[in-house]
Amino acid sequence: MSPCIVVLTDFFAVSNRALSYAAGLAVPLKAHLLLLHAQHDSLLAPNEFAAYHTLAGEQKTFYALEKLASDQPVPAEVDISDDPLSDAVREITRERELLLVVMGQPGFEGAPVELVARTATGLLRRVACPLLVVPAAGWDQFPPRRLLLAVDGEPFNVGAQHHTIYRLLQALQGTLEIIHITDDEHARPTASALLETVTQNDLVEDTLDAPLHLHERYNPQVTAGILAEAARLEADLLVVVARHHSFVGSLFHHSITARLVQASPIPVLVLPAED
């Protein structure tokens, strides 16, 4: 079976640009889509739309998603789950080769601006899966070919998920560059130490043939520095490594990953690190 790209779909899936982005990636990746709708999730099924939880409403949602699936350029299936979102995704990882989980901005007006970031961090806290967050606008460059990996200088291990980056680079004929932002609170690591954290994870096939380019900048605000460098380099996909401690604390707003997911004008691929 081909690898699976899960797309989190809400009641407004027709206007969900994340689905279009996921379908565009599925073609070169030779993957199939799974449109997942978790009926009791605040992003995919907010309380304001309780009428959709009736039998008739659920049937209407299912038929709409089935129609949407049939319109995709690659094979697509539908899963409407009564389980919490994290449980539904975990079950999918047991049954399929999961390549990506894709989510976008909610399709309903008045949604809290932090809702997507909150959903993303809640999912990653419970399931170790590559998560691609697609903004409502700002990804006119498609397919993405200039990937920018933000590193903090500390060693990390993304385990088998390094295959996600490798497959993207191969399928899209893309390049990967590295960015490190130095601020006032942390010591500046050496360039060799920064590059070693990347090469140890086998994110690229052979750095001898295509040396990694490292960009180091100073900015007292790390998130702003990353986004500014992404714009300067005209990157079209931002990659970040999420450490578990970014999600377990109560100070959600202190997570750089959460800030990037919320503020980035280009898609963000989050790779959870193994502890």
Residue at which a domain ends, from 78, 104, 134 = 134
Instruction: Tell me: pLDDT of 176 over 70.
Output: yes
Residue 139 in any domain: the answer is no
Residue 268 in any domain: the answer is yes
Residue 140 in any domain: the answer is no
Looking at the fold, whether 64 and 111 belong to one and the same domain comes out as: yes
pLDDT of residue 154: 80
Looking at the fold, whether 156 and 260 belong to one and the same domain comes out as: yes
**Can you name the residues that pair with 32 across neighbouring β-strands?**
4
Percent residues over pLDDT 90 in the chain? 29
Region 21-41: what's the mean pLDDT?
87
Percent residues over pLDDT 70 in the chain? 78
pLDDT of residue 253: 42
User: Which of the given ranges, 184-188, 199-203, 229-233, has the highest pLDDT on average?
Assistant: 229-233
pTM of the model: 0.86
pLDDT of residue 58: 67
Residue at which a domain ends, from 107, 134, 161 = 134
Residue 215 in any domain: the answer is yes
Looking at the fold, whether 108 and 152 belong to one and the same domain comes out as: no
Looking at the fold, whether 129 and 164 belong to one and the same domain comes out as: no
Instruction: Tell me: pLDDT of 78 over 80.
Output: yes
CATH code of the domain containing 184? 3.40.50.620
Looking at the fold, whether 130 and 159 belong to one and the same domain comes out as: no
Burial class (CB in 10 A: 0-12, 13-18, 19+), 250: exposed
Looking at the fold, whether 93 and 171 belong to one and the same domain comes out as: no
Looking at the fold, whether 98 and 128 belong to one and the same domain comes out as: yes
pLDDT of residue 248: 44
Distance CA 110, CA 79 (A): 26
Looking at the fold, whether 237 and 209 belong to one and the same domain comes out as: yes
Looking at the fold, whether 14 and 125 belong to one and the same domain comes out as: yes
Looking at the fold, whether 206 and 128 belong to one and the same domain comes out as: no
pLDDT of residue 234: 94
**Binning pLDDT at 50, 70 and 90, where does residue 250 land?**
very low
Average pLDDT, the chain: 80
Residue at which a domain ends, from 134, 155, 190 = 134
Region 78-104: what's the mean pLDDT?
89
Instruction: Tell me: pLDDT of 1 over 90.
Output: no
pLDDT of residue 149: 93
The count of structural domains within the chain is: 2
Instruction: Tell me: pLDDT of 188 over 80.
Output: no
pLDDT by residue (tens digit) across 130-161?
Answer: 999 998 765 566 889 999 999 887 878 777 77
The amino acid at 256: I
pLDDT by residue (tens digit) across 96-143?
Answer: 899 999 988 765 555 566 777 778 878 888 888 899 999 876 556 688
Domain that holds residue 193: 146-272
Distance CA 263, CA 242 (A): 16
pLDDT of residue 54: 55
DSSP state of 215: E
Residue 92 in any domain: the answer is yes
Q: What length does the chain have?
A: 275
Question: b/e string for 51-89 if b means 16 or more Cβ within 10 A?
Answer: ebeeeeeeeebeebbeebbeebebebebbbbeeebbebb
Considering only residues 133 and 254, tell me which one the structure prediction assigns the higher pLDDT: 133
Token look-up 């109560």 returns 250
> Which pairing describes strands 131-134 and 268-272: parallel, antiparallel, or unpaired?
antiparallel
Instruction: Tell me: pLDDT of 63 over 50.
Output: yes
pLDDT of residue 50: 47
Looking at the fold, whether 210 and 256 belong to one and the same domain comes out as: yes
pLDDT of residue 239: 94
Looking at the fold, whether 74 and 119 belong to one and the same domain comes out as: yes
Out of 120-124, 127-131, 175-179, 241-245, pick the least confident: 241-245
